[in-house]
Structure 1
Amino acid sequence: MPLISIILPTYNVEKYIARALESCINQTLKDIEIIVVDDKGQDKSIDIAKEFANKDSRIKIIDNITNKGTYEARNIGVRNANSELIMFLDPDDELELNACDIALESMKSNIDMVCFSAFSIINNQSSYFIKRDNKLLGNIEYMQEKSIWSICARVIKKDLFLKVIEIIGKHNRLVMAEDALISYVLANICNRILLNSNIVYKYYEDIESITKSYDSEKYKAVEYSYFKVIELIDNISKMNDFNKNYSEYCKNKLLAEYYSYSRRIYKKKNILKYLKLKLISIKQQKLVKLSYERLKCH
């Protein structure tokens, strides 16, 4: 049985997937499996992945019949994983070559989840995307940390992630904010969470990609996703008796992110709409601050 499963949900990333797979197959920890979930893109991503798989038996390709989206593609990868430990890699990013070794060592003391530091790469310039201090936290203490939604740069027990899938249940496709939903549930069900300062992940970011690829249908899908995740958090909180203060903080933070996203979209398209959203964003950020203060006090 492999010690760690790395899951790559793959859709139209032919420019980058070789880099991601190289960062997996060259890990210093060799006893791993690499699960590529083919989410039915239109480019040659999977052809490239198959070339790698022909040379490395640790690579397993799962063929989705239809496009499922990142959230469900990840879940399919988890269900098919053979390791007790799960890591995620978006195939336009890469792992540091010692990421799995560090992850395995960090999980030895009966830890449920480890959250690492990560770099953001923009125009070949690197800076911290996530910066962690070394500390062991219970779930309430973890909730009182400022939320970072990304589920990459983590290692998680497989059985706990399967519980996350069960708690969230089935819903319509999400195109954004799914990491926030997963992170919210993980924060409530993990009892021992380790923050680790080691940088294990490189996140490549195209800062202009959101506005360049804008269209009305995509905007509607993003809007639906944010408000659906807020609704799901509210329902899940009530059904599972999760921390109410944390739920309110997460919902307010998601609304703030949605308004920030909308502002970027409208900045060059509708100046009046942009200014209106800017005022709403300022008010929403105040609500985020207030809900965080309530969370810290309890």
Structure 2
Amino acid sequence: MKTDFGLVSIIMPSYNSSKYIAKTIDSIINQSYTNWELLITDDCSTDNTCEIIKEYTAYNQRIKLFTFLENKGAGVARNKSIKEAKGRYIAFCDSDDRWKPEKLEVQLRFMTENRVEICYSSYLKCN
């Protein structure tokens, strides 16, 4: 039986991310820990980023898209998603990142077992 640590709000800004964002979203959908919501704020992309995201929102209610009508920057986009977040935890994922399938579960278990309120992990570079 899997432990439910509470809802995780995953915060993702996007801007002209069509080349990477599908694989990024797939890596979140494939998490072993499934109690999450993905909040994507698009910062006025000029490519087909929003269309790709909308394909995911059509079949996965945990994914929500917010859009800006003018470019405001990644920080403002992150803050918009944080404002909409409903989770006990906040996790940040950029639109060109990918997560290993156990990322959330491992971090949540570590935080709970060690009674810590914040943690972060290293990363691997790929091309």
| TM superposition outliers: structure 1 runs of 4+ over 3 Å | none
Q: Which residue pairs with 2:117 in the alignment?
A: 112
Larger radius of gyration: 1
Q: Which residue pairs with 1:10 in the alignment?
A: 14
Equivalence map 1:93-112=2 (5 Å) = 93-108=97-112, 109-112=114-117
Cα distance, 1:119 vs. partner? 0.6
Cα distance, 1:5 vs. partner? 1.1
Equivalence map 1:1-298=2 (5 Å) = 3-108=7-112, 109-122=114-127
- Rounded to whole Å, the distance in 2 between the matches of 1:112 and 1:28 is 21
Relative to total residues, which structure has the larger helix share, 1 or 2?
1
AA aligned to 1:103 is: Q
Identity of matched residues, %: 33
8 Å contact kept, 1:107–1:114: yes
Cα distance, 1:110 vs. partner? 3.0
AA aligned to 2:115 is: N
Cα distance, 1:32 vs. partner? 0.5
- Rounded to whole Å, the distance in 2 between the matches of 1:110 and 1:85 is 14
Greater relative CO, 1 or 2 (CA 8 Å, sep 6+): 2
AA aligned to 1:72 is: V
Which deviations, in whole Å up to 9, do the C-alpha atoms of 1:56-97 show, x marking residues without a partner? 110011122321111111111111111121111111111111
Which deviations, in whole Å up to 9, do the C-alpha atoms of 1:104-125 show, x marking residues without a partner? 1122143121121211113xxx
Unaligned runs of 5+ residues in structure 1 are 123-298
What TM-score do you get using the length of structure 2 for normalisation?
Answer: 0.89
Equivalent position SS for 1:27: coil
8 Å contact kept, 1:37–1:64: yes
- Rounded to whole Å, the distance in 2 between the matches of 1:107 and 1:61 is 28
Which deviations, in whole Å up to 9, do the C-alpha atoms of 1:187-211 show, x marking residues without a partner? xxxxxxxxxxxxxxxxxxxxxxxxx
- Rounded to whole Å, the distance in 2 between the matches of 1:110 and 1:80 is 26
8 Å contact kept, 1:34–1:60: yes
What RMSD over aligned residues (CA atoms) do the two structures have, in Å? 1.2
AA aligned to 2:10 is: I
Cα distance, 1:48 vs. partner? 0.3
- Rounded to whole Å, the distance in 2 between the matches of 1:33 and 1:112 is 19
- Rounded to whole Å, the distance in 1 between the matches of 2:115 and 2:87 is 16
Cα distance, 1:26 vs. partner? 1.1
